[in-house]
C-alpha cells in the first residue's frame, strides 16, 4: 500500500469516528434535554466538536509534513557549517521516506565529489604523489613540529634529458616514465624509513619533471648527501619503456634547515639553486647549497636586472679583433666582440654576462643592438673605402624568432650595407640543432653574399652529415683544441684530424686565441687558413682598429 493511500484511509477512519461521535452526542442531547435554550447550546457544542474533529483530521498530515520540511531545511542549512556526513532527520525518514532516501543519496554523491576534487587538487594525477600545494601545506606542518636543534633536509630533483623522451616517444610515454621515476623515488624514501628516520619524509611532484623530498628529521649533512647520492644513482639506471631502454639522469639540490633557511620557501629556493649548479656540472649528480652559491645567485639576479637597463643606457660597446691570413699575412676581416661598459665594474667580458642573457632572453635585445651597431659601422666603412668583412655571433635564441633574418636583411638594406660585408657566426651546437627552416634562411643569406661560420668548433656535438649539407664557409676551432699543440703530440694529432675533416667539407679553417708564433707556425703547417689572437693583435675599438689596419696595409705586414 502506498504512502498516499495509507494517509487517505487513516483520514477516512478518523472522519467516520468523528461523525459517529457527533451522532451519539446529538442523540443524547435530544433525548435528555427538554429546554429549548439547552438544546441550542448542545447543538452549538456538537457542531463545534464536529468542526474540531474534521480540522484535526485534515491538518494532521499537513502538520507532520511541515515539521518534516522544517527539519529537512535545518539539515540542509547545516551544510554551511561543513556537515556533509549526517543523514536525513528521523522525522523526514518517517513522514517522507523517499525524500529521506534521496537526501541521503545526494549527500553521498556530494561527499564523493568533494573527495575526488580534493584528490585532484592535492595530488598529481600522473604519479599520485602530493602536488605543490599539498607539499607546501604538509611540509609547513612538519617544519612547525620540529624540535629545537633538530636538522631537516630539503631535496630538489630535476630530471636530465626528459624533454628528449617527450619529443621522441611522445607525452604518453613521458607520463609513463614519470610514474616509473616516482616509484624509484618511493623505494629510496622507504629505504630511508627503514634505516631509522622517525618521521616519514614527504615526497611530491611539483611540476613537469621536478620532484622534491622533505626530510623533517635527518642526522647530519653527510646523511643528506648520502640520500641525494642514492637518488641520483637510482634515476641514472636505465628505464625499460615499451621496448626502449631510456637513459636519463637527475640533478639533485640539497638545502638544510636551519643552516640554509627556516621556512619552506627559503629551503625550496636554496635547494633549487643547488640543483641548477648540479645540472650545470653535467647532471646526474647532487650539490649542497652553500654561501658561495648564494652569492653567485645574488650576483646573477643583479646582473639580470642590470642587463635589462644596459641597452637603454648605451652601456654596450664592440671591440674588433683582426683576422689574418696565414698565407699572406693580410687582414681578411675582423670579429666584433661584445663588451659591457658596466657603470660600477668597468669593462666586463662576455663570459660574465652572455650566459645569463641567453637564459633570460635579454640576448634578443642585445643582439638587435649589435646588428644595428654593425650596420652603422659598416656603412661608415663603406664611405671611407673600407670593404673588409665583419663577423659577429648569432645567438640560438635569435634564430628561434621567425622574423630574425628578415629584420637582419632589412637593417642592412636601410644602411646600404651589402651582405658580402657580413660573416654570421653560429655556435656548433646551434648549427647542428637548427631546423630546416633556419637552414634555408641561412642558405638564403649566403646566396645574398654573407659568409657563414661555425664558432667554437670542437666543444659541442657535430653531425657529419649536417656538416656536409649545411651552407658553410668557415669553421673556427675552439681555443681549447689548440692550447697544447706546442707541447702535446696528442693535441697536434687531434687538431690535424679536425682540420682534415673541415677541409673535406670544403670550408676554411680559422684558429682563435693564437697566443704565440710557435702555435701559428704549427697551424700553418697543418693547413690552417686564418688566425686571430694576441700573437698578432688584441681586440681594439673601432678607431684604433681602422688605424691598425691602415698601418698594416702600408707596411704590407706578412706572417708567411
558 pLDDT above the threshold of 50: no
d(CA 355, CA 140): 35
User: Are 332 and 223 in a shared domain?
Assistant: no
- pLDDT (tens digit per residue) in 442-472: 999 999 999 999 998 987 677 777 788 889 9
Cβ neighbours for 479, distance < 8 A, ≥ 6 positions apart = 512, 513
User: Are 497 and 352 in a shared domain?
Assistant: yes
Most confident of 28-37, 90-99, 409-418, 548-557: 409-418
Q: pTM here?
A: 0.66
User: Are 265 and 407 in a shared domain?
Assistant: no
Confidence of residue 168 (pLDDT cuts 50, 70, 90): confident
Instruction: Report the CATH number that the domain containing residue 496 is assigned in CATH.
Output: 3.20.20.450
91 pLDDT above the threshold of 80: no
Which residue range forms the structural domain that includes residue 529?
315-559
String of DSSP letters for 113-134: HHHHHHHHHHB-TTT--B-HHH
User: Are 268 and 181 in a shared domain?
Assistant: yes
Domain boundary, last residue among 289, 323, 353: 289
Residue 300 within a domain: no
Residue 367 within a domain: yes
105, with CB counted inside 10 A (0-12, 13-18, 19+), is exposed
User: Are 321 and 433 in a shared domain?
Assistant: yes
User: Are 238 and 355 in a shared domain?
Assistant: no
User: Are 386 and 527 in a shared domain?
Assistant: yes
C-alpha cell at 88: 536525513
User: Are 201 and 235 in a shared domain?
Assistant: yes
C-alpha cell at 86: 549526517
Q: Strand, coil or helix: what is 443?
A: helix
Residue 16 within a domain: no
Residue 67 within a domain: no
Residue 503 within a domain: yes
Return phi, psi of residue 244, to 5°: -110, 140
58 pLDDT above the threshold of 60: no
b/e map 111-134, b = 16+ CB within 10 Å: eeeeeeeeeeeebbeebebbbbeb
Residue 69 within a domain: no
Confidence of residue 214 (pLDDT cuts 50, 70, 90): very high
- What is the count of structural domains for the chain? 2
Residue 254 within a domain: yes
d(CA 356, CA 363): 9
Residue 490 within a domain: yes
502 touches 474 (CB < 8 A): no
User: Are 429 and 476 in a shared domain?
Assistant: yes
Instruction: Report the CATH number that the domain containing residue 170 is assigned in CATH.
Output: 3.30.70.270
User: Are 392 and 440 in a shared domain?
Assistant: yes
- pLDDT (tens digit per residue) in 503-548: 999 999 999 999 999 999 999 999 999 999 998 899 999 999 999 9
Cis peptide before 415 (omega within 30 of 0): no
User: Are 283 and 389 in a shared domain?
Assistant: no
Amino acid at each position: 500500500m502506498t504512502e498516499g493511500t495509507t494517509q487517505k484511509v487513516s483520514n477516512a477512519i478518523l472522519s467516520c469516528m468523528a461523525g459517529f461521535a457527533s451522532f451519539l452526542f446529538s442523540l443524547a442531547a435530544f433525548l435528555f434535554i427538554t429546554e429549548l435554550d439547552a438544546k441550542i447550546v448542545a447543538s452549538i457544542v456538537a457542531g463545534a466538536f464536529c468542526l474540531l474533529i474534521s480540522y484535526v483530521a485534515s491538518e494532521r498530515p499537513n502538520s507532520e509534513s511541515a515539521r518534516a520540511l522544517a527539519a529537512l531545511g535545518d539539515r540542509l542549512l547545516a551544510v554551511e557549517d561543513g556537515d556533509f556526513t549526517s543523514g536525513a532527520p528521523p522525522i523526514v525518514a518517517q513522514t517522507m521516506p523517499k525524500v529521506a532516501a534521496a537526501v541521503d543519496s545526494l549527500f553521498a554523491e556530494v561527499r564523493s565529489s568533494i573527495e575526488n576534487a580534493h584528490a585532484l587538487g592535492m595530488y598529481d594525477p600522473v604519479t599520485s604523489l602530493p602536488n605543490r600545494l599539498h607539499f607546501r601545506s604538509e611540509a609547513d606542518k612538519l617544519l612547525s613540529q620540529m624540535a629545537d636543534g633538530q636538522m631537516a633536509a630539503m631535496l630538489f630533483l630535476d630530471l636530465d634529458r626528459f624533454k628528449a623522451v617527450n619529443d621522441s616517444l611522445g607525452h604518453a610515454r613521458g607520463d609513463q616514465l614519470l610514474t616509473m621515476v616516482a616509484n624509484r623515488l618511493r623505494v629510496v624514501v622507504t629505504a630511508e624509513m627503514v634505516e631509522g628516520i622517525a618521521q616519514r619524509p614527504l615526497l611530491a611532484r611539483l611540476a613537469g619533471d621536478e620532484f622534491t623530498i622533505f626530510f623533517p628529521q635527518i642526522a647530519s649533512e653527510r646523511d643528506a648527501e648520502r640520500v641525494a647520492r642514492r637518488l641520483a644513482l637510482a634515476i641514472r639506471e636505465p628505464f625499460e619503456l615499451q621496448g626502449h631502454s631510456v637513459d636519463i639522469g637527475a640533478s639533485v639540490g640539497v638545502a638544510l634547515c636551519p643552516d640554509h633557511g627556516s621556512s619552506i620557501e627559503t629551503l625550496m629556493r636554496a635547494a633549487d639553486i643547488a640543483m641548477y649548479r648540479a645540472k650545470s656540472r653535467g647532471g646526474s649528480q647532487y650539490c649542497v647549497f652553500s654561501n658561495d652559491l648564494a652569492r653567485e645567485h645574488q650576483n646573477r639576479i643583479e646582473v639580470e636586472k642590470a642587463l635589462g637597463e644596459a641597452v637603454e643606457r648605451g652601456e654596450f660597446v664592440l671591440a674588433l679583433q683582426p683576422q689574418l691570413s696565414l698565407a699572406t699575412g693580410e687582414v681578411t676581416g675582423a670579429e666584433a666582440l661584445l663588451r659591457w661598459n658596466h657603470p660600477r665594474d668597468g669593462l666586463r667580458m662576455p663570459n660574465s654576462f652572455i650566459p645569463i642573457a641567453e637564459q633570460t632572453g635579454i640576448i634578443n635585445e642585445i643582439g638587435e643592438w649589435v646588428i644595428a651597431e654593425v650596420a652603422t659601422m659598416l656603412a661608415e666603412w663603406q664611405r671611407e673605402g673600407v670593404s673588409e668583412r665583419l663577423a659577429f655571433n648569432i645567438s640560438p635564441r635569435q634564430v628561434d624568432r621567425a622574423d630574425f633574418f628578415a629584420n637582419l636583411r632589412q637593417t642592412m638594406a636601410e644602411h646600404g650595407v651589402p651582405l658580402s660585408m657580413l660573416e654570421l657566426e653560429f655556435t656548433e651546437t646551434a648549427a647542428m640543432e637548427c631546423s630546416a627552416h633556419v637552414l634555408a634562411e641561412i642558405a638564403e643569406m649566403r646566396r645574398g653574399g654573407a659568409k657563414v661560420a661555425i664558432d667554437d668548433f670542437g666543444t659541442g656535438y657535430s653531425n657529419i652529415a649536417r656538416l656536409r649539407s649545411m651552407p658553410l664557409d668557415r669553421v673556427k676551432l675552439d681555443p681549447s683544441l689548440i692550447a697544447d699543440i706546442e707541447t702535446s703530440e696528442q693535441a697536434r694529432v687531434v687538431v690535424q684530424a679536425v682540420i682534415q675533416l673541415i677541409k673535406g667539407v670544403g670550408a676554411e679553417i680559422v684558429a682563435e686565441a693564437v697566443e704565440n708564433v710557435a702555435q701559428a707556425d704549427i697551424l700553418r703547417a697543418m693547413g690552417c687558413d686564418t688566425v686571430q689572437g694576441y700573437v698578432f693583435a688584441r681586440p681594439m675599438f673601432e678607431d684604433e682598429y681602422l688605424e691598425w689596419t691602415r698601418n698594416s696595409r702600408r707596411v704590407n705586414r706578412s706572417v708567411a
